[in-house]
Structure formats: C-alpha cells, structure tokens
A and B are shown apart, each in its own frame.
Chain A
C-alpha cells in the first residue's frame, strides 16, 4: 500500500477538513484490513466525533467491514450483466472450490468471498475481482483455474 493511503490522522488534509470521517475510515480499513475497535476509539479521540456516530456511518456503507477478512478478497459481481450471464454458477464454483459459503472466510484465512453489485466491466461478464485484479469472461472451469493459481501463490509465500 502506498504511504499516501495509510491511516495518519495528523496529515494536514484531514486535520481541518469537514466531512473527513469517511476518508478516515477508508484509510483505516486500508491500513488494518477492517475497521477495528481501537481505530474507532482513536478517531473519536482525535476528532471528537461521537463513537455512536462513527458506528452509524461505518455500518451504513457497504464498503466498511467490522470483521477481519482473508488475505485474498474475492469480489463476485452480481450486477445485471453478470447475473444474466451466470454469476450464480460462478459463485457456486468458488464456494465449492474453497469449501466456504458466500460471505465467509476460509479457516486458513487466505480467502474471503464477497458479493458486489457491479465492477464496471459488464461487457466481460461474468466478472470477479481478486484483490485489485479483475478477471472477466469467466466459466466455471476458468474460475477454478484462477483460484488454484492464487492458492498456489499463497502457499508459496507461506513456505
């Protein structure tokens, strides 16, 4: 992650900025992977925004997670184009390969499956995004191949 996107309250452009809560939460999530209890307390201490309000905002937006996710976040698109092009079958194939359901994380903490509404690559439907890489024109076979590649890469890193 670039230095610029790390959580750092003291950075000038947040200090006096109105409407800074959302950018702060975004940087917090990028730094920690999810919104931790400690960060919420920290934001409250630094900006004086009530904890209840911070929770209110964090739970309103789909982007914010209050629980940790796996090392690789798989976003499966269930937008219109992907839906009519068989996104359900892709989700099932991923669930089967990883042995978890949509929304869950594998026990080894390597993968989390998440549903998103549209990744903006609709002409390549069905589409998934693993971390920041988009994969399009998927078939059940293709998606299994992509997952296997990631699994191997992850195991390689551990060893």
Chain B
C-alpha cells in the first residue's frame, strides 16, 4: 500500500509538509507496511492538504483537508484496518467521495500525471511510459511527418495567442541556420494564473520530453526553460528532473542510443511581466534588459542570438508526448472546429472550488463555473469572470453560455489567454478591477513605446480619480479614446492589449462607471472614498465603533444610539467591521 501527499506549492502552503512528516513518523512508529511518497498537485487546491491512499491492486482513494492531526486516524482506520473513512473522502476511482463532481466533467491530458507520480522520480515517469514518445519519434526519424502530425492534431499555442504549434515548428525547421533553439516559456506572469507552475511542479518530465521532441522536429540541439523566480519549487524540481534525465541519457548526447543530442538549460526570470513576451524573453536570456522588439523578423527566423528559435508555452509542450502516443486524431476529436483538445484553467477568486481544472474546448463558461467548480463562494451572485489576465477582459454573467474556444472568447472582447480564470461576485467593483489591471500594466510597461508608457499612466489617473469619487463627465469617453490610441501605437502585446480590461468593463458595466462618476456611489460597496456610513436605530450603544474610530467621528453614550459626524468621517470602515449587531449601514 502507498500513501501519497500532494506537495505542490498550494499543498505546502496549506500544511502538506507537516502531514507528510507526520505520516512518515507515525507509520514508522506503528511499523505499518506502507510506503509514504510525494506527488504533485492533485488539483483540488480548495481542499488541500490532499492525500491519496493507493492499494496494491491500484485502486485509489483521495482525502481532503488532511492536516497532520488527522494522520493517526487515517493510518489506523484505512491503512491498518482497511476501512476507508467515508466522511473525509473527496474522490475515489470507484465513484465515491463528496467532491467527485469536480472531476467528472474534466478530461485530463496535460494534467495526466499530476498528482499521480512523484515529480522528483524519473523512475515513476518511466514506469508509466515516459520518454517513450521521444523514443518513438527518434526511431521513426521523420521530423517532417512528426510536424505534420502536430499540425493534424490542431494543437494551438497555450501561451495566449493560440498560434498553431505545428506551423511554428515548420517555419523554424525551414529557416536557414546551423544553430537553432527551443525555448519553453514558463514565465507565467499573468496574475491569477498558476497552470504552468502546477505542471512544472507535478510533472516536469512531460515538459522536458515535449521540448526534446520539438528539438528533434526543428533540428535544435539546445533548449532553454525560462521560469519566473517566484516559483522556487518549480525551479528545484526542474533541476532535479534535468539531472535525472541526463544521467539516463534521455537528455544530453546520444538520446535513446541515437545520434540525437538535446541539452536543456534553466534560466530564472527576474520579475518582469513583459519578459513573458517572446522577444523580450529572448533579450532577457541574452542577459539584457527585457524589452520587446519589432516583429518581423519573427523568432522562427531570427530568435535567440539571431538564430531560428521556436518558443512555446509549458502547457503546449506538456501536450506533445500525449499526442505522439495517442495519435493526432485522438486529440483533434476533442474540442470545436478551430480549437482542438483541452485547456487547463486556474480557477480562483470568488469560486467555491478553486484549483486546477482541465476541460475539453467547447464547454461553456457556465459549466466550468457551476458544474465543475460548484458556483460562487458563500452563494453570492455571479457577476463576471476575468479571462486572460491584464491582456484579457471581463465576461459578464449574462454571457455565461459563451463556449470556451479561441474565437468565441475573443468575440466578447476578452481573450483565451493562458488560462487564469478569476471569478467575481456582486461585491467586486468592476471600475476598481479595471483600475487594478491598469496599475499593473502601467507598472510593468517597459517604457519603450510612448503610448504604452504615458498613455497607460493617463488612463490609470482617470480610473483612479473615478474610484476616488472625483470622476468628471466625459471621463468614459476619454478612457475610450486613450484606449484606442494605446492599442494602435504599441509595439508588443502588453500595450496592444492593456486597454482590454478597461474596454470590456465599460462595454458590460457602463452603469457602474456612471454611478461612480455621476452619483458618486460604488454599487459594489468597494471604493472606500465613495461609501457613506450611517448608524441605524438598531444600535445598542456599546461604544465599540466609537472606540475604533481613528478620527473620533463617532460619539455617544452607553446604551444610547450613537451619532456619526459625516464631516469627520474618513470612510475607513473600521466602525462597520467593529459593530457586532450590524447597526452601521454602508451605501
């Protein structure tokens, strides 16, 4: 019997390391014949720490919220006596568990090994057929046919823009040059996205294998992985994986006994969002300031150190070995006419079941939010989803039947993006969300293009004053005008798409903007300067609010309704938080 603990960053943050140690210590002390092992992200971040008990016959049972204090009972009942604990069970392969709905609508291709194998053990990966896809393409020795099958699969880049992967490989293969490079883009800069982190932490070998296959296809002998520095665990596990694969000659020289060589180097990012953009990323690998340059020439002809380079996202690479093993038809049978296969989403925000989900393309937003993820936290009202991060937009609840494919999402004004899906409820102010994203893009703009550098700043100023209750008539139109200018005069995707969050919120939530500007009210009760607090007659006169008020705006006597002096109020909200009987109204 085996007990696996999900030790991704999410799990560790929820205390999985302690669970792991407790399991080891207690199992050893009780002399139980059980192996305690690590695995990656199981996907149900909302129920971390997660533990799986795997019987010798391969049957699997997963438990959620398994903190260290629950270890003893688990070992005693399930491991020693063979009696699974139904109450704690979240999922089992025979259809039990109170969270099984989370998995029924999912199709796991990219996440096929996440939470199943130990990411720090190449033997685990080899045991489930790892590096066999690479072996297969090397033995067949037909790079053109390999590229054709990737084109047939319909796989499109998962980094955001959705360019057909096979085409990119073909262009790079056909480009003239002795040295060619493969780059894996693991910069994952979109706030609210963590798909790539989970894949790298849970299944690094699949990405390495995908890169080696791409290297063979285009004729590259060197690959780089550019990982953001905020992901220490992913970096650690990638380093382990690269060393293990090199030791077994599955990377390096003479792979699988053929003449093919492919070396992989890891580069740590240094905290610049714009470095996710392909030309900026290459400048950063070259040791320079990460600033984008004009395309063309595209990286496929002139990339890293002026050599032809194919750059793909982590998720794109993780798909590759599966497509080789199962054939392009199996992949293209999933999804819609122009968007094939599956997409991984990182679900976060006001959602009940936040975590990592992989669904076939063509499913609707509503199905993902409600059927897979259980709907909105605390049963509040669903307002919008934000897709595509700072380059994307907000899709309102009215459009929840929109299907998830590149074209339909683009039609709404948002973009598919890399897969961060932040859910918002009635308490989220959409003007504030737009301001938040502008603050981000304004800070992260590299400064090369004037409109991206200055235009985003002007837009941010307008949005900030609207949120502070100083909005003026014509501000919405001014934002729209600036948005058009920034979009059309920026060199890279950062500036071109920076207006998207503003434009989509104006398009779908114009009345909220108007309420801020004309009525000086924030309907979501989020923008503090616009809130008015009033003490209701239900006040029991406990003096709590008067005590916490930093400006002494509240006065009163014990057991008498208190009085709030609006001229002294700074709208900090401390009184509202302190009141135990909800006698302070906010508007």
Contacts and interface: CB of A to CB of B under 8 A. Distances in A.
Asked if A pairs with B, the answer is yes
Interface of A: 18-23, 25-26, 56-57, 60-64, 78-85, 116-125, 127, 132-137
Contacts of B389: 80
Nearest to B272: A61
Contact of A81 (B191, B270, B285): B191
B10 A123 contact: yes
A85 B13 contact: no
A123 B10 CA distance: 8
B3 interface: no
Contacts of B356: 123
Nearest to B573: A89
B230 A118 contact: yes
Interface string B169-207: 000000000000000000011111110010000000000
Interface stretch (B67-75, B318-326, B344-352): B344-352
Given A80-B389, A80-B420, A120-B188, A60 B428 contact: no
Interface string B31-47: 00000000000000110
A63 B284 CA distance: 13
Nearest to A85: B349
A123 B354 contact: yes
Given A62-B271, A122-B354, A123-B346, A57 B13 contact: no
A121 B287 CA distance: 29
Contacts of A134: 9, 12-13
10 contacts: A22-B270, A62-B270, A80-B389, A84-B350, A84-B428, A121-B13, A123-B194, A124-B14, A124-B354, A134-B12
A72 to B, nearest CB: 16
Nearest to B447: A60
A148 to B, nearest CB: 18
Interface in B287-308: 287-290, 305
B128 to A, nearest CB: 26
A137 B289 CA distance: 35
Given A57-B289, A119-B230, A123-B10, A84 B424 contact: yes
B277 to A, nearest CB: 14
Contact of B10 (A78, A83, A121): A121
Given A79-B191, A80-B386, 6 more contacts: A21-B287, A84-B350, A117-B440, A121-B10, A122-B420, A122-B422
B482 interface: no
Contacts of A132: 232
Contacts of B188: 120
Contact of A23 (B268, B290, B354, B444): B268
Nearest to B526: A84
Given A118-B190, A122-B422, A123-B346, A61 B305 contact: no
